Structure 1
């Protein structure tokens, strides 16, 4: 069994989301805490190496583009047609306003979600944590554990947005994506495909916000 520090590494991003979003009720504070954790924890760890984690292989790039296009279509296309059945737009707009996701600052937040988020999340989960787990266990353990704890803090984000059991349904695609990106990490040996696919999935979410929610 791993020690307490290992489990803290798995739970740390969720704790940052909890403090920023549920306790301090601010998207900006949440981003600062969350992305600082994703960035600095691997940097400060002497056991982290980014060697061969990011690849320019054409195969990885195409895996990312093709899978990301599927995620984008599922997210934006699905909610474009079905949002009336799952989302109370007035409640969601008020919630996002309370979190500070409004005004001119929203462009900065969108930039972070599209350009910073896919890179740092994949570096942390499918890079840093994937390698840490494989030091003792198998690639399958790494795929499942990173997907579970990656999904955990997304669940915190959707609890206020959806009533039970829709909040569970809402994070199922996140869990599936986490498993898939972990699989791509194992298959290709890099996180390049995951970053590209993750970016396109996040782009779908931002399109839902911009064209449906806003």
Structure 2
């Protein structure tokens, strides 16, 4: 179990804060603002591919410039699949509720803050 990696209360607080806040900002932009804006002029699938591409590219530049895990091709496969699934879910439900909830579960489960700080390295590293 990775709970031993949280050797300080600060890390635990940062992990929880990030997991609660990050999905709102990312999903409001990538699925809410961007997809809504693109679907007016472009096809649904082109909108999904475009928004997913930039969602994937944003992660190493915005979140993980110094993260060892962001150098793994596994991350980009995972982010691509997540971006596509979340975009389809948004189009199908016409709501960000389940997309934000799913993103929250992902951020809690993948130890995001610990990964960015190189405290936790995914098994493929």
Measured against the shorter chain, the TM-score band is: 0.7 to 0.9
Q: Is the 8 A contact 1:126 1:181 kept in 2?
A: yes
| Structure 2 counterpart of 1:171 | 76
Q: Is the 8 A contact 2:27 2:100 kept in 1?
A: yes
Q: Structure 2: which 5+ runs fail to align?
A: none
Is residue 161 from structure 1 mapped to residue 68 from structure 2 by the alignment?
yes
Q: Is the 8 A contact 2:15 2:114 kept in 1?
A: no
| Structure 2 counterpart of 1:34 | none
Which structure: larger Rg?
1
Q: Is the 8 A contact 1:115 1:199 kept in 2?
A: yes
Partners of 1:105 and 1:160 in 2: CA distance:
19
Is residue 107 from structure 1 mapped to residue 12 from structure 2 by the alignment?
yes
For CA contacts below 8 A with separation 6 or more, give which structure has more relative contact order.
Answer: 2
Partners of 1:167 and 1:207 in 2: CA distance:
15
Q: Structure 1: which 5+ runs fail to align?
A: 1-75, 81-92, 94-101
Change (3 A) 1:197 1:162: closer
Partners of 2:84 and 2:59 in 1: CA distance:
14
Deviation at 1:204, TM superposition (A): 0.8
Change (3 A) 1:199 1:162: closer
For the residue of structure 1 that corresponds to 2:34, the secondary structure is helix
Q: Map of 1:134-149 to 2, 5 A cutoff?
A: 134-149=39-54
Q: Is the 8 A contact 1:155 1:168 kept in 2?
A: no
Cα RMSD (Å)? 3.2
Deviation at 1:149, TM superposition (A): 0.7
Q: Is the 8 A contact 2:31 2:51 kept in 1?
A: yes
After TM superposition, what 4+ stretches of structure 1 lie above 3 angstroms from structure 2?
A: 102-105, 207-210
| Structure 2 counterpart of 1:122 | 27
Partners of 1:104 and 1:169 in 2: CA distance:
30
Aligned residues between the structures? 113
Q: Is the 8 A contact 1:134 1:142 kept in 2?
A: yes
Deviation at 1:114, TM superposition (A): 1.0
Q: 1:199 aligns with which of 98, 104, 122?
A: 104
